[in-house]
Each structure stands twice: as C-alpha cells, then as structure tokens.
Amino acid sequence: MKNLLINDSFETAKKENRPALLTYTVAGDYTKKKSLEILKSISDYADICELGFPHNTPIADGGQIQTSSYRAIKNGIKINDVFSIVSNFKKSKKNKPIILMGYYNMVYQYNEDKFISMCKKAKVDGLIIVDLPYPENKIFSSKCKKNNINFIQLISPTTSKSRLRKIINDSHDMIYYISMLSTTGGKLKVSAKEIIKQYQKIKNQNKSKNVVIGFGITEKTIKSLKKADGLVVGSAICKEITRSIKKRQNAVTNVNNLVKKLKNKIK
C-alpha cells in the first residue's frame, strides 16, 4: 500500500523536472509554537517536511542538529507535543507529507504500538528511526506499513551489495541515501559525481522507489545533486535558526528565505 501524499509529492516534483525538496527541523526548536510556525512557513517551498523528535543522546547527529535538539528539550518538548504540532500543521496543510525522525529509545519508551497509533491519529506519513537498522526493524516496519505509514530505510556508502538488495526489497516507497560517512551536517567530503553514482546503483535495483539523498546538503551543494528524486536539507536549517536567535532576528522569516533559496537552486 502506498502512502499517497509522499508519492504525490515525488510525482509533482518529477512533472516539474526537479528533485523534491525535503526539509528537516526539530520539533520544539526553539519553542513549540515557533517550531510549528517555522514548519508551516517552510512548507510553502518544501515538498516533504521531516520533523525530528529530539533525543538527548543522539549517536548520529552532528553539532547543528544536536544544538537544536538540546534547545528543544530544554524548552520542554515532549513526545505528545510533537504529535500535536503535526496535528496542528495538518489542519492547515493537509496535503503536505510529514515524516517523523528520531531515535528508537523514544519510541520504545512510548510503546511501539501506541506510538504508531498516535502517528496515525496525527496523520504522520512516514517514520525514520536512525538506530533501528535492517533487519532489526522488520517487525516495526511492517507494523508501520499496516497503518499506511512509510517506514523509511536508510542506505549508506558502507552498505554492502547483498544487504542493499535486501533492504530495498523490504523498503516502502521511499529510501534515504546517506551521501557520505558522516554524522548529519558534515562538510560534503565526496564529489557530487560519486554520490550520484552510488545513488544510481540504488535506483537500478528498483526504479519505482523514490530515493532521496541527505547529509551535507547546503545552499552551495544542492544544485550538484539535482538528479536525485529528492534532497534533504537539515543541519543548514538548524544552523539558520541558531544564527537568527544569536542575532536576535526573526527565525521564521530567515528560515523561510533559506528554504526559498534552496528551492530556487533546484528548479
């Protein structure tokens, strides 16, 4: 069963001959209210919005997202707030897909089934659990599928060929390719050509899957990866929020401008 919203977003982008733009922001950064405002405002340009539920011991996030996460936790964000941000967002933007992203302990403590049913209720379209890899994620991912939530598998440059095949077989509509060996927000240390080559290998396995590329994508690098089905920008946005707070500027406007610029680069 396909998640229509996620699929439609990729279809629309393809018709416009461009990659889909995916943004990542942290729920509750820098307050619950502001993070909802930011989300709404960037969804004018973003095709799919990823929303992080912050964890205080992240093992795959770089400095920018860590800063955003700590800020959100400090400001009191709880899992139920994350769901209510999504619900509120969906009230005005019901056709914009939302993907929640985070670490497994949060799901585990909330209870897997309860977490999925809350996702369904809030109209979450997809889930990325960073530290729940294949095949450990098999049961959880099939539970998601049953509830029409995309469980998004990650693939990295270290993923072996045989593993790649298995992961793709077990994946839903969307796959996330990690551009390089790095935590989020690292400097792109691999050439765009090399990244696209790896991306193509994944595409060649199954053309019907939408493959997005993330990690290290900024205003400077986004254009060079235009060939992909979708591109994810996260740390650059978190950095902009941090910068705006420091300069006492309006983070909502600044982030909106940044995402608009990103979108223009891939049009």
Partner 1 sequence: MKIKKNIPLIDQHDKFGFWGGKFGGSFIPETLKKPVEDLTNEFKKLRKDQKFIKKRDFYFKNYVGSPTSFTKLENLSSYLNGAQIWTKVVSEANGGAHKIYNATVHALICKAMGKKYIIGDTGAGYAGKMLSMAAKKFGLKCKIFMGAKDMKRQKPNCDAIRKNGAEIVPVYSGSQTLVDAVSECMRYWVSNCDNTHMCVGSTVGPNIFVKICGWSTAQISRELKNQLKRKFKKIPKKLKLINCVGGGSSAYGFWSEFIDYNKKHVELIGVEAGGPKKSLLHAAPLSRNAKIGVLHGAASYVCQDKEGQIHETESISAGLDYPGVSPIHCFLKDTKRARYTYATDEEALDAYQLVTKFEKLSPSLEPSHAFAEAIKIAPKLSKDTIIIVNSCGDAKKDRDILRERLGKD
103 binds partner 1 (CB under 8 A): yes
Name 176's bridge partners. 154, 212
* Angstrom distance (rounded) from CA 228 to CA 217: 12
Task: Give residues 191-210 in contact with partner 1 (rule: CB under 8 A).
Answer: none
Closest contact distance (angstroms) between CB of 62 and partner 1 is 7
- Residue 113 a catalytic site member: no
Closest contact distance (angstroms) between CB of 136 and partner 1 is 6
Name 174's bridge partners. 210
Task: Give residues 145-174 in contact with partner 1 (rule: CB under 8 A).
Answer: 153-160, 163
State which residue, 17 or 160, has the beta carbon closest to partner 1.
Answer: 160
51 binds partner 1 (CB under 8 A): no
| Number of residues forming the site for partner 1 (CB under 8 A) | 40
Tokens (6 digits) for 129: 């659990």
What is the Rg, in whole angstroms, of the alpha carbon atoms belonging to the chain?
A: 17
Set 29, 47, 61, 240: catalytic member = 61
Set 29, 50, 81, 125: catalytic member = 50
Is residue 15 within 8 Å of 227, Cβ to Cβ?
no
Contacting range for partner 1; rule: CB under 8 A; set: 56-64, 88-96, 195-203, 238-246: 56-64
116 binds partner 1 (CB under 8 A): no
Closest contact distance (angstroms) between CB of 156 and partner 1 is 4
Closest contact distance (angstroms) between CB of 87 and partner 1 is 18
Secondary structure (DSSP) of the chain:
---HHHHHHHHHHHHTTSPEEEEEEETTSS-HHHHHHHHHHHTTT-SEEEEE---SS-SS--HHHHHHHHHHHHTT--HHHHHHHHHHHHHH-TTS-EEEEE-HHHHHHH-HHHHHHHHHHHT--EEEETT--TTTTHHHHHHHHHTT-EEPEEE-TT--HHHHHHHHHH--SEEEEE-SSS-TT----S-HHHHHHHHHHHHHH-TTSEEEEESS--TTTGGGGTTSSEEEE-HHHHHHHHHHHHTT--HHHHHHHHHHHHHHHH-
State which residue, 3 or 179, has the beta carbon closest to partner 1.
Answer: 179
Closest contact distance (angstroms) between CB of 238 and partner 1 is 15
State which residue, 153 or 242, has the beta carbon closest to partner 1.
Answer: 153
- Residue 8 a catalytic site member: no
190 binds partner 1 (CB under 8 A): no
252 binds partner 1 (CB under 8 A): no
Binding site for partner 1 (CB under 8 A): 55-62, 66, 70, 73, 78-79, 103-106, 108-110, 130-134, 136, 153-160, 163, 178, 181-183, 186
* Catalytic machinery residues: 50, 61
